[in-house]
């Protein structure tokens, strides 16, 4: 039986960067509309079952009410799972979908949402759609097409080897124990407490470790991207130390905010290479959100690894399906 899972985060894209910069807003009414298009795209591929994560806003239920269950061929339902209205809901939903042998998961959120999903799933292919703030991991594309691509993958219409790529990740190891991970960047901040989760004051940033650094993206990785571009397909990562030095670069660190940044040191990272966190005490932000406190007694390192989640290339998937005649009557 072919199955597609959907994890839609109603809290994505609502952090403090809406107030201190010029970030766009995707409200939950629009997320519901996007979700409807995803469902209809999936259903058009002839999938057997669609499973959706429950959430506090009821995105899935509202989407189904707008479409009408009778108008969907696939068996479509909200998963029976307890929710606690935190990021852990996405992690649990991905874990349950893995147990239910879902063939593809569509995520609706930002970098943080996809990180939460990847914590419990790095085997099921993801189709990540962007509704967060400084999105690097998910893509901006028409949601109907994203749903179609997810259905094609779940049904095995095309070869995953041609259209699915395993992404990198950063593993955080504290006192010899792996405690967390990031998909895009781990940022060391000159802070004692987590406080506001989003990063918006560049003066706090001491080090940046990233899996990719593309000049066209917004956020901390743009600093590295404007000096030494790295794409998701590149084997390497990047490590930057910020501060006064001979090197300065302009970067779009927040939406609508381009500023000059001093860089003391820049180096590429090999897969498996560690970066030791020497700035203590500090706070480490993962994919844009403060998560980990580091005390002077802690031993913390950040490791680049090649075992991140598999991600579907939407455009290539649909083109491969066309080549196989999938859309012909």
| 27-75 confidence digits (pLDDT tens) | 888 999 999 999 999 999 999 999 999 999 999 999 999 998 889 999 9
CB-based burial, 98-124: b 16+ in 10 Å, e otherwise:
beeebbbbbbbbbbbbbbbbbbbbbeb
Collapse the DSSP code of 210 into the 3-class scheme (helix H, G, I; strand E, B; otherwise coil) and give the result. strand
- Average confidence score pLDDT of the chain: 92
Per-residue burial over 178-217, b if 16 or more Cβ lie within 10 Å, else e, is eebbbbbbbbbbebeeeeeebbbebebbbbbbbbbbbeeb
Q: Kindly indicate the confidence band of residue 135, based on its pLDDT and cuts at 50, 70 and 90.
A: confident
Query: Quick one: pLDDT at residue 22?
Result: 52
C-alpha dihedral sign at 139, 144, 149, 153: positive
* Nearest alpha-carbon partner for 76 in 45, 52, 53: 52
For residues 153 and 123, is the Cβ–Cβ distance under 8 A? no
**104: pLDDT strictly greater than 90:** yes
Q: How confident is the model at residue 132 (pLDDT cuts 50, 70, 90)?
A: low
Predicted TM-score (pTM) of this structure: 0.92
**Percent of residues, the chain, with pLDDT higher than 90:** 82
Express each pLDDT in 71-85 by its tens digit: 999 999 999 999 998
The upper half-sphere exposure of residue 281, i.e. CA atoms within 13 Å in the direction of its Cβ, equals: 7
Residue 17 has pLDDT above 60, yes or no: no
Gap between the Cα atoms of 202 and 240, Å rounded: 13
- How many other CB atoms sit within 10 Å of the CB of residue 27? 11
Instruction: With a cut of 80, say whether residue 18 has pLDDT above it.
Output: no
* Radius of gyration, alpha carbons of the chain: 20
Residue 329 has a CB neighbour count (10 Å cut-off) of 3
What is the pLDDT at residue 192? 83
Q: How many CA atoms does the CB half-sphere of 230 hold within 13 Å?
A: 24
pLDDT for the residue 12:
73
Question: 300-305 and 185-189 as β-strands: parallel, antiparallel, unpaired?
Answer: unpaired
Name the nearest CA neighbour of 126 among 105, 102, 149, 156: 105
Looking only at the bridges linking them, the beta strands covering 126-130 and 205-210 are unpaired
Give me the domains of the chain, ranges plus CATH numbers: 3-167+309-323 (3.40.50.10330), 169-305 (2.60.200.30)
In this predicted model, what pLDDT tens digit does every residue of 221-273 receive, in sequence order? 999 999 999 999 999 999 999 998 889 999 998 888 899 999 999 999 999 99
- Residues of the chain with pLDDT > 70: what percent? 94
Q: Which residues is 204 bridged to in the sheet? A: none
């Amino acid at each position: 039986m072919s199955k597609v899972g959907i994890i839609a985060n109603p809290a994505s894209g609502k952090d403090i960067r809406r107030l201190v910069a010029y970030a766009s807003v995707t409200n939950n009414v629009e997320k519901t509309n996007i979700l409807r298009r995803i469902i209809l795209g999936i259903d058009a591929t002839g999938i057997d079952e669609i499973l959706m994560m429950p959430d506090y806003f009821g995105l899935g239920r509202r989407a189904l009410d707008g479409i009408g269950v009778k108008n969907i061929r696939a068996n479509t339902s909200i998963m029976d799972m307890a929710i606690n209205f935190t990021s852990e809901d996405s992690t649990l939903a991905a874990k349950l979908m893995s147990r239910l042998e879902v063939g593809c998961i569509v995520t609706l959120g930002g970098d943080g949402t996809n990180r939460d999903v990847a914590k419990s799933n790095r085997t099921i292919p993801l189709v990540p759609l962007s509704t967060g703030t400084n999105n690097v991991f998910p893509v901006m594309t028409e949601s109907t097409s994203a749903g179609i691509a997810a259905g094609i993958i779940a049904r095995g219409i095309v070869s995953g080897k041609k259209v699915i790529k395993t992404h990198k990740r950063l593993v955080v190891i504290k006192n010899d124990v792996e405690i967390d991970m990031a998909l895009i960047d781990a940022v060391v901040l000159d802070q004692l407490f987590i406080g506001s989760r989003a990063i918006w004051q560049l003066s706090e940033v001491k080090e940046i470790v990233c899996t990719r650094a593309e000049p066209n993206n917004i956020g901390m990785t743009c600093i590295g991207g404007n000096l030494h571009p790295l794409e998701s397909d590149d084997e390497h990562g990047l490590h930057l130390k910020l501060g006064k030095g001979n090197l300065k670069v302009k970067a779009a660190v927040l939406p609508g905010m381009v500023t000059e940044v001093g860089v003391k040191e820049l180096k590429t990272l090999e897969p498996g290479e560690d970066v030791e966190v020497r700035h203590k005490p500090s706070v480490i932000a993962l994919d844009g959100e403060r998560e980990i406190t580091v005390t002077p007694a802690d031993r913390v390192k950040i490791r680049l690894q090649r075992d991140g989640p598999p991600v579907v290339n939407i455009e290539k998937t649909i083109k491969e399906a066309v080549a196989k005649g999938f859309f012909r009557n």
